[in-house]
Amino acid sequence: MKVQILGTGCPKCRQLEQNARTAVQQLGVECEVEKVTNLKDIMNYGVAMTPGLAIDGKVISSGKVLPVEEIVSLLASAEDK
């Protein structure tokens, strides 16, 4: 599984990355966490507002910082697929 954090490095983007890393650790899954900071690459995901969160290339959220618990839930359901 691969989690992409879509953002240029603003405080909200950094918080989302931290929350995602915590969620991965809590869930104990094999997962790569990748930061996508290039604006052109972020726009290729169709994200207009950062931060964005994608799991395996599919955008799950944009424009807000998801809490750890919600990311854990999203990762668990993505893992079940």
Residue type, 2: K
Task: Give 75's pLDDT tier (boundaries 50, 70, 90).
Answer: very high
- Which residue range is the domain that position 67 belongs to? 2-80
**Could you give the number of structural domains in the chain?**
1
pLDDT at 68: 98
pLDDT at 65: 98
| Helix or strand run (H / E) with residue 45 | none
Q: Whole-angstrom Cα distance, residue 46 to residue 49?
A: 9
Active-site annotation holder among 2, 10, 41, 46: 10
31 belongs to the catalytic site: no
13 belongs to the catalytic site: yes
Which CATH number does the domain housing residue 8 bear?
A: 3.40.30.10
Active-site annotation holder among 13, 42, 47, 65: 13
pTM, entire model: 0.93
pLDDT at 14: 96
Task: Give 29's pLDDT tier (boundaries 50, 70, 90).
Answer: confident
- Mean local confidence (pLDDT), 34-41: 95
pLDDT at 27: 93
Give the mean pLDDT of the chain: 94
